[in-house]
Amino acid sequence: MSLVVKSSLLNKVDGSAEVEIGRTKLVASVSGPIEPRSRQELPNSASLEIIVRPAVGVSTTREKLIEDKLRSLLQNVIIRHKYPRQLIQIVIQFLVTEDTNNYSITESQKQKLTSIELNAAINACYFALVDANIALYYSFSSVCICANSSIEEDNLKVNPDMKDLAVSRSHHVISYGITHSSSYNVLLIESQGDFSEDEFLKLLDASGDLCKSLHDEQRSHIESKIKKEFIWKQ
Amino acid sequence: MQEVDQISFPPEVLSRIAPDLSLERHLKLGLRPCLRSFSEFKPIAVSSPALEDEPNLVGSSIVSHGQTKVICGISIGVVEAKNQSDTLNQNETNSQDSKSDGEYDAEPVYPVVDIARGRTGAPTEEEMILSQRLYEWVLQSKIIPASALLTNPGVAIANQTSSSQGSSADVTILYPEDSDMPDLFSRVKPYKFVLYVHLKVFGRSGPLFDPCHAALIGALKNTRLPRIYVPDSSIYSIKIPIRSRGNFGHRVKETRIFIDENQDLSNPLQLNKDNIGGASNYGLYDLSPGSTSMDVDPNVIILADLEGDAEEAECMSKLNLIYNPNKKSINNISYSGGGMVLTKDTLKQCFKLAKKRAENTQ
Amino acid sequence: MGREIELSSNESNFIIEGFKSGVRLDGRKLDEIRQPVIRVLPDEYGYVEIEWGNSKLTVRVSAEVVKPFEDRPFEGIFTINTEISPMASPQFEQGRVSDDEILISRLIEKAIRRSNALDLEALCMVAGAKVWYIRADVNVLEFDGGIIDAASFGVMVALQHFRKPDVSIHGSDVIVHSLQEREPVPLSVLHVPICVTFSFFNPSDSEENIKGELNEEISIIDATEKEESLRDGSLVITINKNREIVQLSKNGGLPIDVFVLMDLSKKAYTIAESLSEKIKIFLQKEESERYKKLHLDLLEAGAAR
């Protein structure tokens, strides 16, 4: 799996990260804790505002659904009671997606792309949240997997591109929370397609290992980031 | 020393001021606030067709799911079918898959969910998300084959004999399949139906995807697509001059399309009935006393079919499943969780429940 | 919710005093722009990242086959979409379009779309039925002033960098060839308008605005966010390298002398000239690299294959 990460690239927000996974490239930014609008304010925890913006055009219900899925993950990861009556604002801006510069995409392919985009957004959020110093219960990482005719080890395709998705029988975004560098807790599952129970349970295990190895990558990114940022301490 | 009075509240008050506490006490007694048992679903009843005498609807259904009622009506629109070459030469890009059924070049359905909430205004986030989830389900389940929405319009021909009087009453409509005049139809372009699905929800008392999903399926099952036709003259391309800068005498073809009101000619919408699954939702609640997220073997309760604000707000982990009893497979899992470990046993139990539920509601 | 930056009197006085002696916080001269950095991706057409000092934005140009407007059957459609998300700066709120945002998108629209920078008639495939719809999405990642200049610069680079797929037309049917199948074609760009924004400051008190004869107003080019928040007036000159003024838009109440305006136009022209040259050189370099990478020289007539 290849992650290209650049964090702290924006100055006006508290945390930001630019992530490239496969052909998908996006920027995530986090501002917070900041003052909320009065109707967003929650008395005992932070409210989350999540904005997803597509690479082309204005955001539609498709982006709203990605926002919703992201929110269901992030509200369980951010230690929200640490920031009562405050707002954490997260903006995801897609820059390059599989469907840009593609003139043959069908509606169903576009719908399947949601999982690639959700997966990229989750992983980008992690770096942006860390960059913004927002308190988290645990680290998290996410993988996008698609399965062909039957879910067996060799039939799984991790980080699929659009062609893989088009021929796949099912596709999954699975995100794990990670503590003590072992994948520990399933945070999010978004699976679609046609698959059996056993297939899925097998896949759930496989994705745990993948999330863990992705987390090792995350760690090395963050390590080098900290080294860079605290260079004046030495 | 002052006596400390124990303050106690009647259950209905407690459930409003401390929903978390109220829910926890209920569950410890083995009860849910709605008095169902943990794995008991709300009764769901689909009546379809439900609004048969409504001429503008091609399909309809009414679903009652506990207190919730969902009324669903499907109306149609017609768009020019893009021919394959229009979108792209598909040769080199994913050739085998692109033409298979279920790959749409345009949106096949537009679900719009409207939750009655005592005021009007722009759609709420919940409505938008529900609409999009239903839309994605239609695409992903491939329940409607792309070919099912295609239609070849007929041609209305005015009978020459009576037209001298100017009475155009004598019009026959010819359709390509029962006519031997291929050149008459060679210039008629194929069209495509778009299904506009209107869902109106009354009495929201829990997650709405399940009843909306059932209503959509119910309505699709009794959808009948009418035939459409073009008047005779318009296939020979009436050109209407339009005025534009510099007026080049440019003409634009305009084709007018009519819907044949003859109900006998309408056909039921072809569905991939094997792809229909049943949706169900679960909340997971951790009962272990003073549980922290580090507990390995928590005392997790599965609540089927969440109902009421307390259950919706306090179950931190929620699971949505679509199980397909025909193919004995899972079509959709949507889980978000926090604070507790999702064990495989819990997951398996949910699968079992989903299976039973889907089979019962089929 | 006042999230807009407010400078202390000390800081604002410091900046204004600096202008009086010809110095700016970032060390630029009063009439010096921030030199833009352009980046494109090797396998994307029409996607450009612009770094304009601390302001960062991306422009994405995309194309789609649509039916033209009824009253303009021979013309393609071109729109520019500039929405600024809270990512750019907390002063921009989600779901509420601020006045600044409207002004910015209107000025860019006027500079590029209304000046016919893109030949719309060349986008027509079948009159009245099928035309190209070109849209440019400007995404501001970071806001530090000069967004009008940076965005219009970015849009012009992206339009020239973009390639739309080749089509073949059979009667009223159009076949769109994928980028792999046939070499895509560039858009026909008629001229390259460049926006230059001047900000005016009144060093004396407000009485000077009404009846002053002094003409002491200070004008600076390409203000940063801090400088923009202090300015008393601004002027956007859109000009191309043919010395044609496309747009003059002066906002704010500060009166400006006619001769000053002439002088500023001249300055704008030199900037426009150097920026157009910069775009040209960049695109040429980019084109030749792409050419080499794809081995397109093999396609040339008489190439040794």
Distance from CA of B63 to the nearest CA of A (A): 24
Domain of A90? 3-233
Interfacial A residues in 151-210 facing B (CB < 8 Å): 163, 166-167, 172, 184-197, 200-201, 204
Q: Do B341 and A185 touch (CB under 8 A)?
A: yes
What secondary structure letter does DSSP report for B288? S
Using a CB-CB cut-off of 8 Å, the residues of chain B touching C70 are 242, 252
Range in A1-5, B48-52, B111-115, C297-301 the model is least confident about: C297-301
Helix (H, G, I), strand (E, B) or coil at C18: helix
CATH number at residue C28: 3.30.230.70
Looking at the fold, whether B206 and B248 belong to one and the same domain comes out as no
Helix (H, G, I), strand (E, B) or coil at B99: coil
Q: Alpha-carbon distance A146 to A148, whole Å?
A: 7
Give the residue numbers in B contacting C (CB under 8 Å), as ranges.
Answer: 83, 85-89, 91-93, 242-245, 248, 250-253
Would C234 be classed as within a structural domain?
A: yes
Amino acid at position C23, single letter: V
Would C136 be classed as within a structural domain?
A: yes
Looking at the fold, whether B294 and B180 belong to one and the same domain comes out as no
Q: Alpha-carbon distance B85 to B88, whole Å?
A: 5
Q: Which of B284 and B11 is assigned the larger pLDDT?
A: B284
| pLDDT tens string A57-107 | 888 999 999 999 999 999 999 999 999 999 999 999 999 998 887 777 777
Domain of C254? 9-301
Domain count, chain A: 1
Would B268 be classed as within a structural domain?
A: no
Token pair for C160: 């020239």
Would B323 be classed as within a structural domain?
A: yes
What size, in residues, is chain A?
A: 234
Looking at the fold, whether B55 and B31 belong to one and the same domain comes out as no
Domain of B166? 154-187+228-261
ipTM over 0.95: no
Looking at the fold, whether B222 and B232 belong to one and the same domain comes out as no
Q: Which residue on chain A is closest to B129 by alpha carbon?
A: A65
Helix (H, G, I), strand (E, B) or coil at B336: strand
Tell which of C178, C179, C180, C182 to mutate to test the B interface (max B CBs under 10 Å): C178
What size, in residues, is chain B?
A: 362
Residue B214 has pLDDT above 80, yes or no: yes
| pLDDT tens string A192-219 | 998 999 989 989 999 999 999 999 999 9
What secondary structure letter does DSSP report for B1? -
Would C46 be classed as within a structural domain?
A: yes
Q: Which residue on chain A is closest to B141 by alpha carbon?
A: A193
Q: Using a CB–CB cutoff of 8 Å, tell me whether A59 touches chain B.
A: no
Would C79 be classed as within a structural domain?
A: yes
Q: Do B129 and A186 touch (CB under 8 A)?
A: no
What is the reported pLDDT for C208? 61
Picking from A20, A3, A6, A93, the residue whose alpha carbon sits closest to that of residue A52 is: A93
What is the reported pLDDT for A86? 94
CATH number at residue B61: 3.30.230.70
Q: Do B139 and A72 touch (CB under 8 A)?
A: no
Domain count, chain B: 3
| pLDDT tens string A132-152 | 999 999 999 999 999 886 655
Range in A127-131, B257-261, C213-217 the model is least confident about: C213-217
Residue carrying the six token digits 């290209």: A4
Would C271 be classed as within a structural domain?
A: yes
| pLDDT tens string C185-232 | 999 999 999 999 999 998 776 666 665 666 678 899 999 999 998 888
Would B99 be classed as within a structural domain?
A: yes
Using a CB-CB cut-off of 8 Å, the residues of chain A touching C41 are 25, 96
Q: Alpha-carbon distance B359 to B214, whole Å?
A: 13
Q: Using a CB–CB cutoff of 8 Å, tell me whether C88 touches chain A.
A: yes
Q: Which of C32 and A112 is assigned the larger pLDDT?
A: C32
Task: pLDDT band for C3, please (50, 70, 90 cuts).
Answer: low
Distance from CA of B243 to the nearest CA of C (A): 7
Looking at the fold, whether B214 and B128 belong to one and the same domain comes out as yes
Looking at the fold, whether B197 and B167 belong to one and the same domain comes out as no
Domain count, chain C: 1
Q: Alpha-carbon distance B354 to B185, whole Å?
A: 49
Q: Do B330 and A73 touch (CB under 8 A)?
A: no
Would C2 be classed as within a structural domain?
A: no
Q: Alpha-carbon distance B64 to B43, whole Å?
A: 8
Would B269 be classed as within a structural domain?
A: no
- Edge-first strand order for the sheet with C245-251 is C218-221, C194-201, C233-239, C245-251
Using a CB-CB cut-off of 8 Å, the residues of chain C touching B251 are 128
Residues 6+ apart with CB under 8 A from A49: A36, A40, A87, A88, A89, A90, C94
